Amino acid sequence: MNQKEFVGKSDEILNCMSIEELRRCLHNIARKTPENKRASFLQLLEDCHDQDDREDREDSKYEEALQHKRLIPNEKEGLEKRHLIE
């Protein structure tokens, strides 16, 4: 099976699993990981965790920027409001 098929089938299975099932799955993989591959496995987990943190921070920055943009009217809105008042 090539990588594209492998990843597609993996995604199909993972998308049907609950959070608890995913945790049990990773726990079982960790239990079965040979000693010479454990450091790589832990690094993979840490990389995934760090990636989620980065994505959360990026999402948060995006939301803050949107909120800030909503608080500041654009120039066109400001001009229209001024014309209505005058």
Q: Break the chain into its structural domains and give their ranges.
A: 3-85
What does the buried/exposed string (b/e) look like for 1-33 if buried means 16 or more CB atoms within 10 Å of the residue's CB? eeeeeeeeeeeeeeeeeeeeeeeeeeeeeeeee
Work out the average pLDDT over 26-53: 93
pLDDT the model gives residue 69: 57
State percent of the chain over pLDDT 70.
62
Q: If pLDDT is split at 50, 70 and 90, which confidence band does 56 have? A: low
Q: How far, in Å, CA of 37 to CA of 39, rounded? A: 6
pLDDT the model gives residue 51: 83
Work out the average pLDDT over 54-66: 68
Q: How far, in Å, CA of 16 to CA of 65, rounded? A: 34
